[in-house]
């Protein structure tokens, strides 16, 4: 993909509208910097426009249910504006809160279900997932390098340091297991290894 894309510009405007009052966890940075960075990552790997658009919109349905918007309304809006294919990719990278029978997942079940679904996910969805992990993990590393108090970074995450790092490792391992061999996986592996090694004892196995 080369040059300007009105669809990506439209997606960024849509994401900015719905993430308008949100900030990145533990920072004052506007949340929309995250989807914008995912667009940069996906574009740098020459992904097609629909994959980049899905990357920009990947958190809208899960994070922007407020102000009169429901998940169904947001899904319909994305489908109408950007197409059913983009919506399918976005939905594929959202961890589900309920199983097929309507039973609510606990935190571990939700994570396991997400990892399981990567086996059926499209190549585009796996790219978006990988780009999301690369950006978020890299942002954590950047914050760790900027502070003398690593705990102030890890305390932002409900899983804590060990659980957060294991979560990144589990996504990398799962993408590898399901046969995703895209070059971005090498970058994700580097991010995961850097997190595991950063100024701390090794993570104990479970």
| pLDDT category of residue 84 using cuts at 50, 70 and 90 | very high
**Structure confidence at residue 191 (pLDDT):** 97
Domain presence at residue 117? yes
Domain presence at residue 189? yes
Residue 206 has pLDDT above 50, yes or no: no
Domain presence at residue 112? yes
Residue 26 has pLDDT above 80, yes or no: no
**Cα separation of 95 and 64, whole Å?**
15
Lowest mean pLDDT among 2-11, 83-92, 139-148: 2-11
Domain presence at residue 171? yes
Domain presence at residue 204? no
Domain carrying residue 93:
6-197
**Cα separation of 132 and 37, whole Å?**
9
| pLDDT category of residue 106 using cuts at 50, 70 and 90 | confident
CATH number at residue 44: 1.10.3210.10
**Structure confidence at residue 21 (pLDDT):** 65
Lowest mean pLDDT among 12-26, 98-112, 127-141: 12-26
Q: How many independent structural domains does the chain possess? A: 1
**Structure confidence at residue 116 (pLDDT):** 94
Residue 22 has pLDDT above 60, yes or no: yes
Stretch 103-123: mean pLDDT: 91
Instruction: Name, in order, each residue with C-beta under 8 angstroms of 192's C-beta and a sequence gap of 6 or more.
Output: 137, 165, 168, 169, 172
**Cα separation of 26 and 30, whole Å?**
11
The 10s digit of each residue's pLDDT in 145-181 is: 988 888 989 998 888 899 999 999 999 999 999 999 9
Domain presence at residue 126? yes
Going from the C-alpha of 111 to that of each of 99, 167, 171, 193, the distances in angstroms are: 12, 8, 10, 20
**In the structure encoding, which two tokens stand for residue 107, read together?**
């935190």
Q: What's the chain's average pLDDT?
A: 87
Domain presence at residue 202? no
Question: Which one, of 69, 53, 63, lies nearest residue 22 by Cα?
Answer: 63
Domain presence at residue 1? no
Going from the C-alpha of 165 to that of each of 80, 102, 181, 194, 196, the distances in angstroms are: 37, 30, 22, 10, 7
**Cα separation of 169 and 198, whole Å?**
14
């Amino acid at each position: 993909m080369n040059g300007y894309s009105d669809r990506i510009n439209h997606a960024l405007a849509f994401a900015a509208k719905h993430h308008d009052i949100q900030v990145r966890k533990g920072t004052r940075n506007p949340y929309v910097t995250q989807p914008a960075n995912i667009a940069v990552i996906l574009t740098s790997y020459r992904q097609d426009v629909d994959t980049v658009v899905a990357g920009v919109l990947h958190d809208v349905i899960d994070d922007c249910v407020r102000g009169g918007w429901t998940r169904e309304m947001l899904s319909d809006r994305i489908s109408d504006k950007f197409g059913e294919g983009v919506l399918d990719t976005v939905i594929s990278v959202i961890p589900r809160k309920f199983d097929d029978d309507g039973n609510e997942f606990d935190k571990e079940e939700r994570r396991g279900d997400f990892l399981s679904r990567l086996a059926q996910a499209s190549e585009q969805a796996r790219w978006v997932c990988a780009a999301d992990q690369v950006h978020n993990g890299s942002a954590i590393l950047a914050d760790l390098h900027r502070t003398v108090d690593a705990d102030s970074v890890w305390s932002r995450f409900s899983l804590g340091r060990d659980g957060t790092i294991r979560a990144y490792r589990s996504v990398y391992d799962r993408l590898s297991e399901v046969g995703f061999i895209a070059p971005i996986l090498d970058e994700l592996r580097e991010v995961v290894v850097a997190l595991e090694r950063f100024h701390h004892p090794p993570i104990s196995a479970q």
